[in-house]
Structure 1
Amino acid sequence: MTAPDPGCPEPADIAGRLRTAIQHLLPVLRARSVRGDLTPSRQAALAALADHGPLRISDLAAHMGIALSTVSRMVDLLDGSGWIERNPDPQDQRACLIALSDTGRTLLDTVRHEAAARLAEQVTRLTPEEQRSLYAALPALEALSEQAARHP
């Protein structure tokens, strides 16, 4: 933890403003894609598999921070949609590993592209100075995101 900078606002003030901004941006990012059956939680599962997979169902639940029974039901739905594949775990033949299928990866890429396009549309409404400020803040936001992923 770094020492507070006397010229910088309090971390709690920064966090409060950031939380509010993120809450207002989430609907833009989570707007329904062409696939109405891809809920935000199912998309989060696909994203976790893209980032960390293949995974056992229990590991997917841990990455998502939700109950194993919930993830188990979700995996059945993802499998039924053809978005994932189940393969035997080479370490334990009684278990299986869940991975994105090609269809699931294509869907996730499409949804991410759509969300980025919606957000880009919002960014174009900012002034050039605001856009530069946002761009300059990206390294700090990315560092905050990586830190939060490592230490939730």
Structure 2
Amino acid sequence: MFIRLPSVQRLSFTTLSVLHTLAGRGPRRLTALAAGEQVTQPAMTQMVTKLQRDGLVERRADPSDSRAVLVHITAAGAAVVQGRRADRVAHLAELAARLTPGEWAAIAAALPALRRLVDADRRKQQQKGP
């Protein structure tokens, strides 16, 4: 449902996922982005080239390996991510206003388990590395 919620800017799911990854996890190599999105490196190179042309990302030399490049999100790219997040929060708030007190209680009771899932995923991602 979260993916289907309306968005401010019409971009492909994979493109938006790349922007969200860069905003949330910081700069990444093209190979890491391609692996994370399960696309080929040439496809990711094309996507990053388009995002760069649109001013949403930029490429910079990797300080740990001068032969490699890191993809960074720009202020404009971060604004797209923030705009989408604000749009979705507003939409979810509108939907949540329709819940009964009992439904709110059920959600509140589920929050500790959901937090554990998020924390477990975060630890798993950190173990994988960039």
- Give the equivalent residue in structure 1 for 2:91: 118
- Give the equivalent residue in structure 2 for 1:87: 60
Q: Write the distance in 2 (CA, Å) between the matches of 1:144 and 1:66.
A: 26
Decide whether aligned partners of structure 1 residues 53 and 120 sit closer, same or farther in structure 2, where only a CA change above 3 A counts: same
Establish whether residue 30 from structure 1 lines up as the match of residue 4 from structure 2: yes
Q: 2:69 aligns to what SS in structure 1?
A: strand
Q: Which amino acid aligns with 1:129?
A: G
**Under a length normalisation based on structure 1, what TM-score does the superposition of the two structures give?**
0.71
1:106 to 50, 68, 79: 79
**Cα deviation code 1:37-72 (max 9, x no counterpart):** x22211110111112221111112233333322222
**Under a length normalisation based on structure 2, what TM-score does the superposition of the two structures give?**
0.82
* Residues 88 and 97, structure 1, Cα contact 8 Å, conserved in 2: yes
* Residues 30 and 40, structure 1, Cα contact 8 Å, conserved in 2: no
Structure exhibiting the larger radius of gyration computed from Cα positions: 1
Number of residue pairs aligned between Structure 1 and Structure 2: 125
- Give the equivalent residue in structure 2 for 1:147: 120
* Residues 33 and 44, structure 2, Cα contact 8 Å, conserved in 1: yes
Q: Which amino acid aligns with 2:99?
A: L
Q: Which amino acid aligns with 2:77?
A: G
Decide whether aligned partners of structure 1 residues 80 and 30 sit closer, same or farther in structure 2, where only a CA change above 3 A counts: farther
Decide whether aligned partners of structure 1 residues 83 and 30 sit closer, same or farther in structure 2, where only a CA change above 3 A counts: farther
Q: 1:133 aligns to what SS in structure 2?
A: helix
Q: 1:30 aligns to what SS in structure 2?
A: coil
Q: Between the two structures, name the one with larger relative contact order (CA 8 Å, sep ≥ 6).
A: 2
**Structure 2: segments with no counterpart, 5+ residues:** 126-130
RMSD in angstroms over aligned alpha carbons?
A: 2.1
